[in-house]
A and B are shown apart, each in its own frame.
Chain A
């Protein structure tokens, strides 16, 4: 084994013009961004305020930026596939050779699920949850930074595969035996596995962090029945992360053992069982679907209540439905492979469970409808996305119930009908939710609103483009078009393929509108400043602070005495849930001991929250996240290319960084009184936006 392992000049795509162009574009974009930052002298600010920041709001913003960048890359893949299929019919070869086309659909799925949907949702939860529960930051701010940077490390590895070597050709879930060494001897599957193992650790840590934050750092008075619904959905989503992502880690570890050390978990010989991989991966994969969609449900709940000017209809049923979905999502995984050959009883059980999961989802749809009913509705951009979601998602849900019937599934499984179904729920659900949340919370993050007109244009293009792109795929699937094909011999399908391509182009226009919207909004930001902190007449605590909020979020400990905490207070109404025994006592009651939390036995820690804090502190910035990610990339790259010393150096680097950090005594930074006073001045006057 040479010093560079399997790496050689042949890893560069010099012979493939399209891959070379794509790789060159990635490298050039990265270099020009670096050059711009250097030329403008932005490095110190970028390093201090963003890269080493442990502020949940900035980390949330960075997650969303990462997701938007990866959306561009994933979408370019989609556009290439649609163009190829519009061209390649009845013997025409198109412009993508099969082995390249296979990489593209694998990369498209991987990117869109892990690095767009997942990353976007984690970003929104990061930004919003601590503000909504009245907390100063996440439970573990430095760990939060580590989580983000591990995700970024996965993204970097994934994009490296575009330039050095190749990506998996196996589909986005790398089913064995195809993904075993015998059939995929190249590095593509290894890139996939290491990128996702590294990003997956980040996701798991983030799930632990957010769950702890929601369960242990809520402001005084914010009982479970007073949490905003977005926090409920975030809680459910993160519980799913904690319970599901370890299965993914274990499954990938087994496949790695097969590929690197000759184990026989999923091989064809010596007793390996490939169907076990499929079972394990979907035991993670189905909860994953709900990890993505539940926070989107939360976004729609907040947006619809805000823009209808009414409390959410059926708050309790919404929370119960969320937790029911959380539980049921672990009992349906087998519907992804009804054709495995399990008995009719087993298939029947999972079919019925799958249909049952539509019930709590239906409850939610009716709750949103009844929230809108009789409200004073403002048709702003976030609400438009929500309305588009309700129609589109119901269609996707119904095709899902169709697929839940095993005999029907036998007919259309692995066809374009399935492709249309899951794009229908993921675009119509998760992506629409992401854009609703983006438009809704952008002013909170940056202090100015986004341009309405371009936002509407973006929404319009996405909706029209979506229907044009995916409704034809339902028809093609019913006609028998198998998915993951680089060309189809059937000439009669070409017109529908062209319609789908037109849809993709319309979606491209939607993405362009989003970019224009951002640019226009930044240029006209002085005219669109949000000086009230409450541009939408919001209901929850994040709108009670300035936009953007100070690093410490709240100047004084928050006390909540009802649901829709900010709305009731600013309108001078009685809270919806009145608890007479508990009024705002943060300043008045220095009652010792048990006031802090249930576990009052902690003599060492003064009961936090029970008495006004003497000063406001924020955690200092930390480079530990980005340094760990640097070594993680080195480790991953070394493992992919079998470069032993590099992998070892990366691993030791991570250990050394953690040890160094664990010996540091970090003092919290005390916020100067003047800064607090400025922040208090900036705090919105109640009802100012009404």
Chain B
């Protein structure tokens, strides 16, 4: 183990030879990434998997769309103006979520609460509209047990709604963590993940709006 050139020190990061500029090192050789990158990268992978799950439900809906079993189809059931309002709420909540992220970057407590609260409010409005749509369908006897088409509809739209509900619960937890723990690196990383999650739900909803609701009238 003597001398700086022994092989083992070279493997384990011994003293090196020529100085070099970091820019010349290829990206893939620059060593482990900092925690913020690692955490958000892992979360991106989770989002990817989540979108694959939605893809399975979208595919199922596409197959079963016409399997109405002599029951009502989408054209007869969907209320486009209500869905447009729903969409507006969710898209606006994405905007308020972006403002929320900016407030977190500045570590501005009050603005964070305000924008987080606004996001919650808009998400809640979206969910309320969705639930009222579900309730009116059930009242018409068009529940998920009525036909394969309605099974696929309730599962796909309901899965998205479930994500929104979980996202809102998560946001409440994060706001409580800002209040109790402050803007620690861990909470800030979590808030970053939350905003990714929320925006991803928006993208999925655009798919739902286009394929389920607009598709029914094509």
Q: Write the residues of chain A forming the contact surface with B, with a CB cutoff of 8 angstroms.
A: 135, 139-140, 204, 207-209, 211-212, 215-224, 226, 242-247, 249-251, 253-254, 257-258, 261-265, 267, 269-273, 276, 280, 283, 541, 544, 554-561, 565-566, 569-572, 579, 581-589, 591, 593-599, 602, 604-610, 612, 659, 662-663, 665, 683-687
Whether a CB of chain A sits under 8 angstroms from the CB of B37 is yes
Contact B30 A595, beta carbon cutoff 8 Å = yes
Contact A272 B67, beta carbon cutoff 8 Å = yes
List the 6 closest A-B pairs by CB distance, nearest first.
A271-B67, A271-B148, A220-B31, A609-B31, A250-B56, A246-B53
Contact B42 A139, beta carbon cutoff 8 Å = yes
Q: Write the residues of chain B forming the contact surface with A, with a CB cutoff of 8 angstroms.
A: 1, 6-8, 10-38, 41-42, 45-46, 48-50, 52-53, 55-57, 59-60, 63-64, 67-69, 71, 144-149, 151-152, 154-155, 173, 177, 180-181, 184-186, 188, 190
Bound together, the chains give a CA A140 to CA B193 distance in angstroms of 15
Contact B52 A686, beta carbon cutoff 8 Å = no
Contact A686 B14, beta carbon cutoff 8 Å = no
Bound together, the chains give a CA A609 to CA B52 distance in angstroms of 34
B138 → A minimal CB distance (Å): 13
| Given A247-B56, A605-B36; A222-B29 close (CB under 8 Å) | yes
| Given A208-B46, A245-B49; A276-B11 close (CB under 8 Å) | no
B167 → A minimal CB distance (Å): 15
| Given A250-B56, A558-B13; A273-B30 close (CB under 8 Å) | no
State the main secondary structure of chain B at its contact with A: helix
Chain A residues whose C-beta falls within 8 Å of the C-beta of B33 in the assembled complex: 216-217, 596-599, 608
| Given A246-B50, A247-B56, A587-B13; A263-B155 close (CB under 8 Å) | yes
Contact A685 B13, beta carbon cutoff 8 Å = no
Residue from B32, B38, B53, B181 with most neighbouring chain A CB atoms (10 Å): B32
Chain A residues whose C-beta falls within 8 Å of the C-beta of B31 in the assembled complex: 218-221, 557, 596-597, 608-610
Contact A612 B34, beta carbon cutoff 8 Å = no
Contact B25 A581, beta carbon cutoff 8 Å = yes
Bound together, the chains give a CA A554 to CA B12 distance in angstroms of 8
Contact A662 B32, beta carbon cutoff 8 Å = no
Q: List 5 A-B contacts (CB under 8 A).
A: A264-B145, A270-B146, A271-B67, A271-B149, A597-B33
Contact B36 A604, beta carbon cutoff 8 Å = yes
B10 → A minimal CB distance (Å): 5
Chain B residues whose C-beta falls within 8 Å of the C-beta of A245 in the assembled complex: 49
B8 → A minimal CB distance (Å): 5
A637 → B minimal CB distance (Å): 23
Contact A221 B29, beta carbon cutoff 8 Å = yes
Contact A270 B69, beta carbon cutoff 8 Å = yes
A197 → B minimal CB distance (Å): 12
B110 → A minimal CB distance (Å): 22
Chain A residues whose C-beta falls within 8 Å of the C-beta of B155 in the assembled complex: 253-254, 257, 263, 265
Bound together, the chains give a CA A258 to CA B151 distance in angstroms of 9
Chain B residues whose C-beta falls within 8 Å of the C-beta of A610 in the assembled complex: 22, 31
Chain B residues whose C-beta falls within 8 Å of the C-beta of A215 in the assembled complex: 41
Bound together, the chains give a CA A636 to CA B91 distance in angstroms of 36
| Given A584-B17, A596-B34, A602-B37; A659-B7 close (CB under 8 Å) | no
B89 → A minimal CB distance (Å): 26
Contact A595 B32, beta carbon cutoff 8 Å = no
Contact of B185 among A541, A544, A593, A604 (CB under 8 A): A604
A587 → B minimal CB distance (Å): 5
Chain A residues whose C-beta falls within 8 Å of the C-beta of B30 in the assembled complex: 220, 595-598, 609
Contact of A216 among B17, B22, B29, B38 (CB under 8 A): B38
Bound together, the chains give a CA A221 to CA B19 distance in angstroms of 15
B180 → A minimal CB distance (Å): 7
Contact A272 B148, beta carbon cutoff 8 Å = yes
Contact of B20 among A207, A257, A581 (CB under 8 A): A581
Chain B residues whose C-beta falls within 8 Å of the C-beta of A585 in the assembled complex: 16-17, 19-20
Bound together, the chains give a CA A502 to CA B62 distance in angstroms of 50
> 16 other contacts beyond A270-B67, A271-B67, A558-B11, with CB at 8 A cut-off?
A208-B49, A242-B48, A246-B56, A265-B151, A544-B8, A569-B7, A583-B17, A584-B10, A587-B15, A589-B22, A596-B30, A598-B27, A608-B31, A663-B177, A663-B180, A665-B181
Contact of B60 among A270, A280, A558, A593 (CB under 8 A): A280
A421 → B minimal CB distance (Å): 28
Chain B residues whose C-beta falls within 8 Å of the C-beta of A271 in the assembled complex: 64, 67-69, 147-149
Chain B residues whose C-beta falls within 8 Å of the C-beta of A566 in the assembled complex: 11
Closest B residue to A612 by CB, please name it.
Answer: B13
B142 → A minimal CB distance (Å): 12
Bound together, the chains give a CA A610 to CA B45 distance in angstroms of 26
Bound together, the chains give a CA A242 to CA B130 distance in angstroms of 30
Residue from A219, A555, A583, A584 with most neighbouring chain B CB atoms (10 Å): A584
Chain A residues whose C-beta falls within 8 Å of the C-beta of B42 in the assembled complex: 139-140, 208-209, 212
Closest A residue to B37 by CB, please name it.
Answer: A599
| Given A216-B38, A220-B30; A686-B7 close (CB under 8 Å) | yes
Bound together, the chains give a CA A521 to CA B178 distance in angstroms of 54
| Given A263-B155, A270-B146, A280-B56; A219-B19 close (CB under 8 Å) | no
Chain B residues whose C-beta falls within 8 Å of the C-beta of A276 in the assembled complex: 60, 63-64
Bound together, the chains give a CA A261 to CA B155 distance in angstroms of 11
Chain A residues whose C-beta falls within 8 Å of the C-beta of B63 in the assembled complex: 273, 276
Chain A residues whose C-beta falls within 8 Å of the C-beta of B154 in the assembled complex: 263
Contact A208 B45, beta carbon cutoff 8 Å = yes
Contact B32 A569, beta carbon cutoff 8 Å = no
Contact A217 B32, beta carbon cutoff 8 Å = yes
Chain B residues whose C-beta falls within 8 Å of the C-beta of A584 in the assembled complex: 10, 13-17
Contact of B52 among A209, A246, A599 (CB under 8 A): A246
Chain A residues whose C-beta falls within 8 Å of the C-beta of B60 in the assembled complex: 250, 254, 265, 276, 280
Bound together, the chains give a CA A572 to CA B186 distance in angstroms of 44
Closest A residue to B6 by CB, please name it.
Answer: A686
Closest A residue to B187 by CB, please name it.
Answer: A662
Closest B residue to A238 by CB, please name it.
Answer: B45
Contact B29 A220, beta carbon cutoff 8 Å = yes
Chain B residues whose C-beta falls within 8 Å of the C-beta of A581 in the assembled complex: 20, 24-25
Contact A589 B64, beta carbon cutoff 8 Å = no
Bound together, the chains give a CA A217 to CA B30 distance in angstroms of 10
Chain A residues whose C-beta falls within 8 Å of the C-beta of B49 in the assembled complex: 204, 207-208, 242-243, 245-246
Bound together, the chains give a CA A219 to CA B48 distance in angstroms of 26
Chain A residues whose C-beta falls within 8 Å of the C-beta of B27 in the assembled complex: 597-598
Bound together, the chains give a CA A560 to CA B190 distance in angstroms of 33
Contact A264 B6, beta carbon cutoff 8 Å = no
Bound together, the chains give a CA A283 to CA B63 distance in angstroms of 15
Chain B residues whose C-beta falls within 8 Å of the C-beta of A683 in the assembled complex: 8, 12
Bound together, the chains give a CA A629 to CA B35 distance in angstroms of 27
Chain A residues whose C-beta falls within 8 Å of the C-beta of B152 in the assembled complex: 265
Bound together, the chains give a CA A604 to CA B152 distance in angstroms of 46
Contact of B57 among A250, A559, A596, A684 (CB under 8 A): A250
Bound together, the chains give a CA A280 to CA B48 distance in angstroms of 18
Contact B13 A569, beta carbon cutoff 8 Å = no
Contact of A219 among B10, B32, B148, B188 (CB under 8 A): B32
Chain B residues whose C-beta falls within 8 Å of the C-beta of A556 in the assembled complex: 12-13
Closest A residue to B66 by CB, please name it.
Answer: A271
Bound together, the chains give a CA A219 to CA B56 distance in angstroms of 37
Chain A residues whose C-beta falls within 8 Å of the C-beta of B53 in the assembled complex: 246-247, 249-250
B123 → A minimal CB distance (Å): 19
Bound together, the chains give a CA A677 to CA B60 distance in angstroms of 59
Bound together, the chains give a CA A584 to CA B15 distance in angstroms of 7
Bound together, the chains give a CA A596 to CA B93 distance in angstroms of 35
Contact of A662 among B22, B148, B177 (CB under 8 A): B177
Contact of B67 among A273, A555, A684 (CB under 8 A): A273
A585 → B minimal CB distance (Å): 4
| Given A247-B56, A686-B7; A257-B151 close (CB under 8 Å) | yes
Contact A262 B29, beta carbon cutoff 8 Å = no
Residue from A212, A602, A686 with most neighbouring chain B CB atoms (10 Å): A212
Bound together, the chains give a CA A596 to CA B31 distance in angstroms of 7
Chain A residues whose C-beta falls within 8 Å of the C-beta of B68 in the assembled complex: 271
